[in-house]
Structure 1
Amino acid sequence: MSSTPGGGRDRKNVIVFFTDQQRWDTAGAHGNPLDLTPNFDRMAAEGVHVRNSFTCQPVCAPSRASLQTGRYPAQLGCFRNNIPLPEDAPTVADRFAAAGYDTGYIGKWHLGDTGTAGPVRPEQRGGYRDWLAANLLEFTSDAYETTLYDGEGRAHELPGYRADALTDAAVDYIAREREAPFFLFLSFLEPHHQNERDDYPAPEGYGERYAGAWAPGDLAALGGSSAEHLGGYLGMVKRLDECLGRVLAAVREHGLADDTIVLFTSDHGCHFKTRNAEYKRSCHDASIRVPTALLGPGLDTGRPLERLVSHIDLPPTLLDAAGLGAPEDMDGRSLLPLVRGAADDRPDDVLVQISEAELGRALRTPRWKYGVVAPGADAWNTPAADRYVDAYLYDLEDDPHELHNLIADPSAAESAEEAVGPLRKRLLQRLAETGEHPVIDPAR
């Protein structure tokens, strides 16, 4: 076998392009008018656009744990931030490595020891062999100051804007001569806020370009911190799409386009302090719906996938698309049969777990958003509850921006209960599938 980028042509390389806190409606493929994402839009048009894609837990570490394992966060044990990924949990990197792949991780990890911002112990790297990352990139970097740590724990100062620096490292990784195929997980911090000053630092000139240019319906109505931050946030999204273009160009330039699968997705969205005191951790689409697309051999259909898809479905899909098969011990199911036009026997809904801000569960269907919370629960230390109470009901056909909670409207009580009955039953079924068997009481 020749020593070429990507290694053997009989097995497919896999790249995950992973953003942090990116709403689905930042993408032109979802109707955004600002031309922020031409590369994502082209990828979605040529490949498989997962039009209704949802995180199963809208906060960093749980979502990341799910994407590494294909399991629900509460069942895995990573139901909130500051809980490390269990060292014995099988990951996608483990499975690719077992099949002879080179495995690489670049960027933000957020699944290591509590209180550790920089280096991650080898035992906590999820099975990745090539390593250039920080556990909490938001605390080891700023917009133009990026520090990552290699496999020996040595610090590396990367030049330029942070997203560009990670992309430079990814392009270098793609270009390496190797005998084996590779699995690369490229994890950005953008468009997440810079924690210590609660700011969205776009590249120079980008935030000003988009300030006041556009606002989605929920933010136009509710405001939150969007007037101050939305321009910078959208500028970060624009730069991320330029980085995506560079990664896809590197794949083409090295002759790997016919041998490489690319997944674009994000860990969760951003509601700009409209639903609680910060940016996520709620059942609303602003928190849970993300842009997702797949491109590569077997995925170049140009047909969108309309059914609702959870993050737990993405790891088995990648393994399946690479020819390794979808593991039965993952909670999700491969999307490949649906991509190929097979009949779908799955109900068209997704389960979402909520922690930290409140202990809750939610069911998202094409029309409805139904959510429950555990009254008085310690949402930081409790992964699940024995009892929940109805808390949210939105009719997404009439109220796509989730501005009218029917559960909280006494005048809608009768019609709300008529809708809630079947949704409550279905949510209980989904919870039972994960091993949870609570009761759900009607709201008072």
Structure 2
Amino acid sequence: MLPQAFAALEKRRPNVVFVFADQWRASAMGYAGDPNVKTPNFDRLAAESFNFKNAVSVCPVCSPARASMITGQYPLKHGVFVNDVYLEQDGPSIADCFNLAGYNTGYIGKWHLDGHGRSAFIPKDRRQGFQFWQALECSHNYNASEYYDNEDPEIKMWKGYDAYDQTTHAIEYIQSNRGNPFVLFLSWGPPHAPYMTAPEKFQKMYDWAKLELLPNVPESDKFIRPAGSDEYARMDPVERTRWIMAGYYAHCSALDACVGRLQTAIRDAGLEEDTIFVFTSDHGDMLGSHGLWKKQWPYDESACVPFLLKYPGFGKSGRAVKTPINTPDIMPTLLDLCGIQSPSSVQGKSRVREMNGREIPEEAVLIANVHSFGQWNAARGGKEWRGVRTARYTYVRDLRGPWLLFDNDKDPYQMNNLIGNPESVPLQKRFEELLQRKLAETDDRFLCGMDYIDQWGYVVDESGTVPYLR
């Protein structure tokens, strides 16, 4: 707990507004140095926030990351290491903990933790403790998006572009709950594909032909082709990358406008000093880097996410935090900031001491792909891997042995793999030992993905993917 927080907590525990997008990579922000994207509201927010510059997604795909946010656990503990399966509780959820502390809790937007069908009604006993509920399991039809409103089993439709209306409902929730401490999770679907569906005024902001590509986007013949069903699969890969980036950035700018509205609403409600505001994502998007698309990869474009935490009660000026924060660390960090003890089921670490300037040199966090499925199943080159990420290095091995080692300070686009470099043998040995310690700490035997599928009793198709029902 930060010392300056004690006086504030004696008066009232802070509110939490936790906002997260789907598939927003860390680098796609103006404040992060992206020369293309326009995010003025996020840039202002970053100047007022603790900016965790090395935030990672523990398992960079939707449901596993979301389950770790809700439980504070690693995927092989909570069992959600693929999409479209049900999160069985093994210990209190983050909402349960806040409920017990006297908070009102609410959830708005995409859920993707129920596994009973992507459009199915989710009853109260399957909402992981959230009291207020305006959500749907999963949809990426952003302009014809449905949801269920609390106990009403009749499905409803968000008005227009769903993130706009979800933000409006979030503001209404904030205004109606300002008399009591509250926690609100707001889960946006963009900038996840389909990319070309942001409001027109934001699409007009980006000329795809003029966008700058990252240095690690290769020549056309070095790309791994996307699945045939992909809407732009037949385009030249480099041209396709720019085209998709334009749509992706349009979604980002639309959400930037939403975050500006949220900040104004919190100020107008008189809650800014007493509200922890977080923005992050479940995972990133390769967007053509290394010739790859979307997620499930250990490269920074997939595994690293934005993580901004604003809490004026701790100070109004921004501060960079270099120590990595991992998805299971979110729950204990938020509980710690609110003076609530984490349950013993939580595996993540609170990062409050790092927010107070006590950084941990060479602190490493575990990243993983337990089982390849969906877009990057084994037949398409996907594979199981485990890795560690520090503020400076990324080290990854697959089932065959060491795979990737990057010095991210010297090689920020991860283009120089140090595996096999004689001069890097001591470094590789050190990180292999560190990875083995992390695997032991999390009881991860690093087996073949199908072994874990069998262990948890999941039913998969020939691609290793859990089929989902609409």
Which bin holds the TM-score, normalised by the shorter protein? 0.7 to 0.9
Residue of 423, 428, 437 corresponding to 1:415? 423
Structure 2 equivalent of residue 217 of structure 1: 215
- In the TM superposition, residue 88 of structure 1 has moved relative to its aligned partner by 4.4
- Give the Å deviation of 1:298: 2.1
Shift of 1:113: 1.9
Write the mapping of 1:428-439 to structure 2, written as runs, cut at 5 A.
428-437=436-445
Distance 1:192 1:252 in 2: 29
The match for 2:230 is none
1:420-439 Cα distance to aligned partner (Å, 9 max, x none)? 11111110011111013569
1:244 is matched with which residue: 249, 259, 269? 259
Between the aligned partners of 2:289 and 2:42, the Cα distance in structure 1 is 27
Deviation per CA, 1:5-32, whole angstroms, max 9, x where unpaired? xxx9612110001011001111122112
- Measured against aligned partners, the alpha-carbon deviations of 1:117-156 in whole angstroms (never above 9, x if no partner) come to 3422322211101000000122xxx232221111223212
- Which structure has more strand as a fraction of its residues? 1
Secondary structure at the residue paired with 2:335?
Answer: helix
Q: Is the 8 A contact 1:48 1:300 kept in 2?
A: no
How far apart, CA to CA, are the structure 2 residues paired with 1:242 and 1:360? 37
Pairing 1:76-225 to 2, within 5 Å after superposition: 76-138=78-140, 142-152=141-151, 153-177=153-177, 179-194=179-194, 199-210=195-206, 211=208, 212-219=210-217, 225=240
Identity %: 34
Deviates more, 1:101-110 or 1:271-280: 271-280
Q: Which residue of 1 aligns with 2:457?
A: none
Return the offset for 1:234.
Answer: 0.5
Partner Cα separation in structure 1 for residue 342 and residue 91 of structure 2: 16
How far apart, CA to CA, are the structure 1 residues paired with 2:357 and 2:413?
31
What is the CA distance between 1:301 and its match in structure 2? 4.6
After alignment, is 150-159 or 244-253 more displaced?
150-159
Inter-partner Cα distance in structure 2 for 1:348 and 1:278 = 29
Shift in Å, 1:271:
0.4
Structure 1: gaps spanning 5 or more residues: 1-7, 376-388, 440-444
Q: Which amino acid aligns with 2:85?
A: I
Amino acid at match of 2:408: L
Could you say if the C-alpha distance between residues 177 and 341 of structure 1 is closer, same or farther in structure 2, counting changes exceeding 3 Å?
closer
Task: Label 1:89 to 1:329 Cα distance change in 2 as closer, same or farther (>3 A).
Answer: closer
Q: What are the superposed Cα offsets for residues 167-210 of structure 1, whole Å, 9 maximum, x if unpaired?
A: 1111111111565211000000010003xxxx442211323422
Match of 1:63 in 2: 65
Query: Does 350-359 or 318-327 show the bigger shift?
Result: 318-327
* Distance change (3 Å), C-alpha of 1:346 and 1:332: farther
SS at match of 1:96: helix
TM-score, normalised by the number of residues in structure 2: 0.81
Q: Contact 1:51/1:304 (CA < 8 Å) preserved in 2?
A: yes
What is the DSSP-based 3-state SS (H/G/I as helix, E as strand, rest coil) of the residue aligned with 2:217? Answer: helix
CA contact (8 A) 1:48 1:299 kept: no
Task: Answer with 80-89 or 420-429: which moved more.
Answer: 80-89
Give yes or no for the alignment of 1:402 onto 2:418.
no
- Verify the 8 A CA contact 1:118 1:148 in the aligned structure 2: no
Please state whether the residue corresponding to 1:180 is helix, strand or coil: coil
The aligned residue for residue 360 of structure 1 is 385
The DSSP-based 3-state class of the residue aligned with 2:433 is helix
- Partner amino acid for 1:401? Y
Report the AA paired with residue 205 of structure 2: R
8 Å contact 1:118–1:137 — kept in the other structure? no
Answering whether residue 300 of structure 2 is matched by residue 285 of structure 1, we say yes
Instruction: Report what 1:393 is aligned to.
Output: 405
Q: Secondary structure at the match of 2:24?
A: coil
| Residues 209-232 of structure 1: CA deviation (Å, up to 9, x unaligned) | 222333333336665641231000
In the TM superposition, what whole-angstrom CA distance separates every residue of 1:322-371 from its partner, at most 9, and x where no partner exists?
A: 222444532222121222234x4574222101132321101112332211
Structure 2 letter corresponding to 1:12: P
Q: SS of the residue aligned with 1:54?
A: coil
State which of 32, 35, 45 in structure 2 corresponds to 1:33. 35
Partner letter of residue 206 of structure 1? F
On the 8 A contact 1:67/1:311 being kept in 2, the answer is yes
- Following TM superposition, by how much is the alpha carbon of 1:419 offset from its aligned partner in structure 2, in angstroms? 2.7
Distance in 2 of aligned mates of 1:288 and 1:92:
23
SS class of match (2:55): strand
CA–CA separation in structure 1 for the residues paired with 2:88 and 2:142: 31
The one-letter amino acid of 1:359's match is E
CA distance in 1, matches of 2:60, 2:361: 23
Instruction: Indicate conservation of the 8 Å contact 1:48/1:294, yes or no.
Output: yes
Whole-angstrom distance in 1 between the partners of 2:139 and 2:63: 13
Aligned equivalents of 2:410, 2:320: Cα separation in 1: 24
Q: Distance in 1 between matches of 2:34 and 2:76?
A: 33
**2:249 pairs with 1:234:** yes
Deviation, 1:34, is 3.9
Is 1:322 the counterpart of 2:338? The answer is yes
Task: Provide the secondary structure at the position in 2 that maps to 1:106.
Answer: strand
Query: Is the contact made by 2:178 and 2:269 (CA closer than 8 Å) also made in structure 1?
Result: no
SS of the residue 1:430 aligns to? helix
State the TM-score, normalizing by the size of structure 1.
Answer: 0.86
Matches of 2:257 and 2:148, distance apart in 1:
25
> 1:278-325, CA deviations, whole angstroms, 9 ceiling, x for partnerless residues?
410010001011111111222545221122221222211111112224
Selected match of 1:53 from 55, 59, 78 = 55
**Contact 1:24–1:291 (8 Å) recurs in 2:** yes
Do 1:317 and 1:336's aligned partners in 2 also have CA atoms closer than 8 Å?
Answer: yes
1:4 — aligned with what? Answer: none
Structure 2 unaligned segments of length 5 or more: list them. Answer: 1-9, 224-236, 373-381, 448-470
Change beyond 3 A, Cα 1:63–1:162: same
